[in-house]
Structure 1
């Protein structure tokens, strides 16, 4: 395994930009839940987030972009580097779990994202026209995972192995997020416990299936 670099701390300016982006997304979702998407304007969203309309357009092109948001939390560059280099443990299932859950479990500041996901789910249930946009964000995240898996194995990103691993891994993470956010178990310990259980079941299911195929 190649040595990885330490992740640089996020600067104050970047944290402020991240906070503003999240504030705009949260304001957009709350207003849309309260009024309906058609009755919410960009000016409304900017005012609720206490920024100018010009600032809104520095982050999002349309109100729909703010409503859908950034999609599922995606692993950062340093988590990707560790995974591609064969880490952090050398066991594929454990490493895939650590990689995919890193945006949440490596930074407790990101745990409020779970509540954001809960609120966005409530919005999408009321405004199903947003579903294609939401699915596009999941697809983009899944493709990024496939590219990381391909880099780890030396495969082409379109090969079956990275594509299948990305599909199975991101499905497991969606299950973890669903179980955590919709059951109210949103603390880091509970999220970790749910993810440990989910990936353990995945590991044993694959092993049991292999044993069943071989037979006596």
Structure 2
């Protein structure tokens, strides 16, 4: 590895550590005081960053508290998914899409085989966040609103795949829409299962591996009930 690559890796680790510190400070303060009583200045002080640095990472204190969702990968990967059927199982394709989203998103550096200390910090952050969202319906609603945006984006892509596999569906928009929603809900169940298993085991394995395992179980279950 070159010096430039080592420096880039160090900067990325520092960036992720700063992001994690801000989120943990926000969650801790909100848990102690209630999120309405927490200011960005206070979060920045606890995280040992300036308010300006805070805004380099998050647009608001709410976004730091609820955390980010994975983003779908680039259009090239999406086109590959759409064009892979019907030979490729749609669940296998969605699994690959979600893994690509994790590998290119914020969670990549968090769960990609880093030190046990980082794994413990990530585990603590997610445990505290889950408890906070459980006790604050307004924050949970914000989280779910963000989740729905990701869900809608995934459903649109799944519609494209279903129409590619069965062009007759283009003449029945309602069936296409409802079938895509069903596949999306199943996919989200697999993603939630993967996330829960990963968190329950301390976040020590790569989240992508846990996601792949959960979708393999979904696929096996589908084959079993035929």
TM normalised by structure 2 equals 0.69
Match of 1:167 in 2: 185
Partner Cα distance (1:174, 1:190) in 2:
11
Residue 126 (structure 1) aligned to one of 128, 135, 154: 135
Unaligned runs of 5+ in 1: 1-8, 211-216
1:114 & 1:178 partners in 2: Cα distance? 13
Q: Distance in 1 between matches of 2:161 and 2:101?
A: 19
**Is 2:190–2:215's contact at 8 Å kept on the other side of the alignment?**
yes
Where does 1:101-116 land on structure 2 (aligned, <5 Å)?
101-104=99-102, 108-111=108-111, 115=123, 116=125
Q: Distance in 2 between matches of 1:67 and 1:80?
A: 30
Q: Which residue of 2 aligns with 1:209?
A: 225
Does structure 2 retain, via aligned residues, the 8 Å contact 1:75–1:100? yes
Q: 1:48 to 1:83 in 2, by over 3 A?
A: farther
**1:76 aligned to 2:73?**
yes
Pick one of 179, 185, 195 that aligns with 2:197: 179
Write out aligned runs for 1:46-61 (5 A): 46-61=44-59
**SS class of match (1:159):** helix
The answer for the alignment partner of 1:40 in structure 2 is 38
Query: In the aligned structure 2, how far is the partner of 1:209 from the partner of 1:180?
Result: 26
Stretches of structure 2 lacking an aligned partner (at least 5 in a row): 112-118, 164-169
Separation in 2 of the partners of 1:74 and 1:118?
22
Runs of 4+ with deviation above 4 angstroms: 14-22, 105-108, 155-158
Return the offset for 1:133.
0.5
Hey, which of these two has a bigger chunk of helix by percent?
A: 2
RMSD: 3.6
- Gap change, CA 1:104 and 1:186, over 3 Å in 2: farther
